[in-house]
Amino acid sequence: MAILRNVIDKETCAALIDIIERLRAKPSPHFRTLSPPTEPITQSDLFRWQEDETLAKLVTEGVLPQLAAHILDTNKVILLEDQFFYSEPGCQFTSPWHQDHSYHPLEPWFLTFWIPLDPVDSDHGLRAVVGSHRGPLYAPVEFSAAEATLAGDGTSLKAVPDIDELEAVGSNILAPSFEAGDVMILHSKTLHAGGKACPSVFRRLSIRYAHPEIHYVQRAWPIASFWQEP
């Protein structure tokens, strides 16, 4: 886990905010409104980089893939996913405690680059459990209050424990403040979750990179639905 400051410049952050607004108006088949009906919304969509030059350059060129290649000790990396999240002010939905790894039928581990496009304080940003990538893998958690994001039946994994309860007895949770363009880099097995409801609109990206030797495996638990699509 690492936090890097001011990786994406403010002009690019502003351009990415405009891009998210355009893409929300033209959702893909992977688009989801994750929050319950009638409440302030949180929305997400994936695999949109091919539709916008600025987003494409961000995820395929320059500092992000270079950082990923350095961490993974390789000359090139595979872009697994680009994902955006959009939350309205006051939205009570926050990402549950989870590990990205269990949603994907891929081995070995990969990286998630979490990038806020709006400033966010420590109460409302991303939280992560330090060292949790060295612990057990837990079952994926359903994100959506409406259309499912998981596909498959049964699981051979234990449920994610109550991390917030464990915090009271010494779980090491990192919850920093972020400026727009900062990056939090996570191992795919790191437990992480969203913070409290934001008082203002909150837009962010999750970009995932893998080593070229990553490969598909059959999972004995539900995975992200788009990985089961033909």
Strand partners, 43: 33, 86
3 phi and psi angles, rounded to 5 deg: -120, 120
What pLDDT band is residue 229 in, cutting at 50, 70 and 90?
Answer: low
CA 88 – CA 45 distance, rounded (Å) = 15
Residue 186 pLDDT > 70? yes
In this predicted model, what pLDDT tens digit does every residue of 116-128 receive, in sequence order?
Answer: 999 999 999 999 9
Does the predicted model carry a pTM greater than 0.85?
Answer: yes
Q: What letter represents residue 92's amino acid? A: Q
Average pLDDT over residues 166-173: 65
In this predicted model, what pLDDT tens digit does every residue of 70-81 receive, in sequence order?
Answer: 999 999 999 999
Q: DSSP letters of 104-119?
A: SSEES--EEEEEESS-
Q: What is the pLDDT of residue 170?
A: 52
Short-list 119, 128, 117, CA closest to 188? 128
CA 132 – CA 21 distance, rounded (Å) = 34
For 32-36, 101-105, 152-156, 181-185, which range has the lowest pLDDT when averaged over its residues?
A: 152-156
